[in-house]
Amino acid sequence: MRRSTSAAGESGSTCWASSEGEGWGRAAPGKRSAAPASRGAAPAVLATPEGTRAVLRRFGIRPSKRWGQHFLVSQRALEQILGAAQLSPADSVLEIGAGIGTLTAALAARAGRVAAIEVDSRLLPALAAAVDAYPHVRIVPADALEADLASLVVDLCGGARKAVSNLPYNVAAPVLLRLLDPGLRLALIVVTVQREVAERITAAPGTAAYGRLSVVVRYRAAARIVSRVPPGAFLPPPEVESAIVELRPHPRPPAAVPDEHEFLRIVAAGFGHRRKTLANALARGLGLRPRIAEAACGAAGVDPRTRAETLDVEAFAALARALHPLRPDERSTGGPRDAPAPPLG
């Protein structure tokens, strides 16, 4: 495993590489990263169908459906991702789903530090070869849904913390929510996801794509779609289009809530029964007496007969403030109000 902080590119940095892999630190002035090794292909070569096929053949890799693997083979898409990331040699970058290192190597050429997470052990030799020229890259064999992300971004070189990833399709939403954890203090998140997920992330209230993911993302960050990516930009090509999404986490939430856990439960309950009115959905999802759910809607200034997809973040926050003072005896018997919010898929 590589753990270091050597400078990237020609501009240099004061981060240094530990040959023992014992941590990140500062180097003596003038310490530079090694020249590119011949073993690893350049990002521009990897980001082509021919270059990716050559790597897959060399390392005996077949893309896994289990892990939702589609390797980037488009130089144009790679440049769009890097353009959105706006990297400098002072930045530290977290990448999830590093794969065979196409994006990882491009990030390493621009950033001061890269932590690259990859769950599939079959890909690790190819990933290591791709970043062999960059001792400031740390390869982390781990599941991004379980890894301690905070420990990977805690120690910076003085620049911004960013996350840049082509997220695996099968875990894109839950991984994105982990990246939006305020404890990571990320300044920018750039992810490539399925277009349908991108539309849900950026959807406005009252639109067909608006849902639970939209509300949670809006509570955490300002999001926009940078560009669409055709299936042919990946190998093997997925059956759907993808999109690059930029998210800028809010320094503080746009709406005040007394308890974030409760707020997320209310959002989940509202969208848990989309065909029901808001009051009925809240009553069922939170285990509330119907009259209490209706009264909370009234106190929040929300029509109890409306549906969750019409509410913005502030309206859900108002519901959280109205429901927060409830006593245990105001719940239905056996209600799930204190249970954790179900995972987002």
Q: Is 321 found in the same domain as 236?
A: no
- CB of 222 closer than 8 Å to CB of 254: no
Q: Is 216 found in the same domain as 109?
A: yes
Q: Is 195 found in the same domain as 77?
A: yes
pLDDT band at 171 (very low <50, low <70, confident <90, very high): very high
Q: How far apart are CA 15 and CA 308, in angstroms?
A: 48
What would the pLDDT profile of 1-49 be if each residue is shown by its tens digit?
443 333 333 333 334 333 333 344 322 223 333 333 334 567 778 999 9
Q: Is residue 306 part of a domain?
A: yes
Q: Is 315 found in the same domain as 197?
A: no
pTM, full prediction: 0.85
Q: Is 211 found in the same domain as 106?
A: yes
Q: Is residue 335 part of a domain?
A: no
Q: Is 93 found in the same domain as 194?
A: yes
> What percentage of the chain has pLDDT greater than the value 70?
81
- Integer CA distances (angstroms), 88 to 159, 160, 200, in order: 8, 9, 30
Final residue in a domain of this structure, among 249, 282, 299: 249
Q: Is residue 91 part of a domain?
A: yes
CATH code of residue 301:
1.10.8.100
Best-predicted range by mean pLDDT (34-43, 217-226, 324-333): 217-226
Final residue in a domain of this structure, among 226, 249, 272: 249
pLDDT band at 185 (very low <50, low <70, confident <90, very high): very high
* Amino acid (one-letter) located at 99: G
Final residue in a domain of this structure, among 193, 226, 249: 249
Q: Provide the angle, in degrees to the nearest 10, between the axes of the packed helices 260-272 and 313-323.
A: 110
Q: Is 39 found in the same domain as 98?
A: yes
Q: How high is the pLDDT of residue 17?
A: 39
Q: Across residues 112-129, what is the average pLDDT?
A: 96
Q: Is 239 found in the same domain as 266?
A: no
How confident is the prediction for the chain on average, in pLDDT?
A: 86
Provide the domain count of the chain: 2
User: Is the model's pLDDT at 111 over the cut of 90?
Assistant: yes
CATH code of residue 215:
3.40.50.150
- Integer CA distances (angstroms), 11 to 97, 115, 188, in order: 28, 20, 22
Q: Is 159 found in the same domain as 82?
A: yes
Q: Is 202 found in the same domain as 127?
A: yes
Q: How far apart are CA 283 and CA 52, in angstroms?
A: 52
Q: How high is the pLDDT of residue 26?
A: 28
Q: Is residue 311 part of a domain?
A: yes
pLDDT band at 163 (very low <50, low <70, confident <90, very high): very high
Q: Is residue 3 part of a domain?
A: no
User: Is the model's pLDDT at 331 over the cut of 80?
Assistant: no
Q: Is 221 found in the same domain as 313?
A: no
User: Is the model's pLDDT at 160 over the cut of 60?
Assistant: yes
Q: Is residue 61 part of a domain?
A: yes
Q: Is 224 found in the same domain as 136?
A: yes
Domain that holds residue 323: 260-330
- CB of 13 closer than 8 Å to CB of 37: no
User: Is the model's pLDDT at 84 over the cut of 50?
Assistant: yes
